[in-house]
Structure 1
Amino acid sequence: MIVEADLDDLDEVYALWRELLDFHQSHHPIFRCKPGSEQVLRKELLQRLKDKDTKVFGYVQQDEWQGLVMANLKQAAPGFLFSKKGYIAETFIKAPCRGKGIGNELVEAAKNWLTDKGADHIELQVSVKNNTAIRFWEKQGFTPTTQHMMLDVSSKAKNS
């Protein structure tokens, strides 16, 4: 069953979010967390749960959180054809629960909420090393628009 997460669900949302982050650790350093960052990451999730333009949906069966999706609405400059951006952020289904349609239901809930809030398009980012996720999003109707790139200019990278 799809539920809208609230502040009382912080522990469950955090646990799934950490699984997602841990899953992506090997994809690129951008996905890595600093040691001892749990409190800061929990605070970030708490802010998202409080934000009126963000919604976290969970898939819950028998009190077990099996998946989640985070959706956000952002206003771009009104001069653009697409100026009310719906954004699907973190999306994750526990490994034993994959392939059962949970992702489809979560994405549908996010799309419905975003369009009800006035989104005229929906964007997302997906790891270029996550071929399964890329295929999933293509089946949902998403197509590539840009290539997200990153350059590490931190002092660690310069000294390497």
Structure 2
Amino acid sequence: MIYEAQPEDIDEFYELWCLLLDLHQPHHAVFRFKPGSEQALKAELLHRLKDKSTRVFVYQDADTWAGMLVASLRPGSAGFKLSSKGYIGETVVRAGYRGKGIGKELFEAARKWLSDRGADHLELQVSVQNPKAIRFWESLGFTPSTQHMVLPLQEPGNSRKN
């Protein structure tokens, strides 16, 4: 069953969000978080749960959060033909639930919510080292438009001294 997560669901949201990041740890430093940062990360996630332009869609099977998808409406420049962006953020389905259509159900719930609020296109980022996820999003009609690139300016986890 799909539902919209609420602020009181922060612990479940955080657990599934960490699962997603754990799956991406080997892909790039941008997916790594600092040890002992649970409180700061939960605060950021709680902000998303309270943001009126964001929804966290959850697939719940009994008491288990089997999957989730974060969707946000991000207005763009009126000068562009596509000016109201629906953004698909963190998306994950637990291993034992994959291949059952849960990801597609989560996407369809997000697409409807974003479309109902005026989004004229959807965007997302997907790890270039995750071919299964790339194929999943392509199967839903997504195509590449740009390549997101990252250049760390210091070693991850180190702070710059002045």
- What's the TM-score, normalizing by structure 2? 0.95
Query: What's the CA shift string for 1:65-117, capped at 9, x where partnerless?
Result: 10000000011111111110000000000001100000010000000000001
1:141 maps to which residue?
141
1:22 maps to which residue?
22
Query: What's the CA shift string for 1:47-75, capped at 9, x where partnerless?
Result: 00000000000000112110000000011
2:86 maps to which residue?
86
* 1:61 to 2:61 alignment: yes
Q: Distance in 2 between matches of 1:153 and 1:65?
A: 36
Q: 1:92-107 to 2 correspondence within 5 Å?
A: 92-107=92-107
Kindly report the root-mean-square deviation, in angstroms, between the aligned alpha carbons of the 2 structures. Answer: 1.4
Number of residue pairs matched by the alignment? 158
For structure 2, which runs of at least 5 residues remain unmatched after alignment? none
Q: Which amino acid aligns with 1:57?
A: F
Q: Distance in 1 between matches of 2:152 and 2:9?
A: 34
Q: Distance in 2 between matches of 1:125 and 1:25?
A: 16
Query: What's the CA shift string for 1:110-153, capped at 9, x where partnerless?
Result: 00000001000000000000000000000010000001011111
1:30 is paired with a residue of what secondary structure?
Answer: helix
Q: 1:4-43 to 2 correspondence within 5 Å?
A: 4-43=4-43
2:108 maps to which residue?
108
Q: Distance in 2 between matches of 1:16 and 1:31?
A: 14
User: Hey, which bits of structure 1, 4+ residues long, moved more than 2 A?
Assistant: none
Q: Distance in 2 between matches of 1:111 and 1:130?
A: 22
Q: Which amino acid aligns with 1:154?
A: Q
Query: What's the CA shift string for 1:25-55, capped at 9, x where partnerless?
Result: 0001111101111111100010000000000
- What's the TM-score, normalizing by structure 1? 0.96
For structure 1, which runs of at least 5 residues remain unmatched after alignment? none
Q: Distance in 2 between matches of 1:36 and 1:81?
A: 44
2:72 maps to which residue?
72
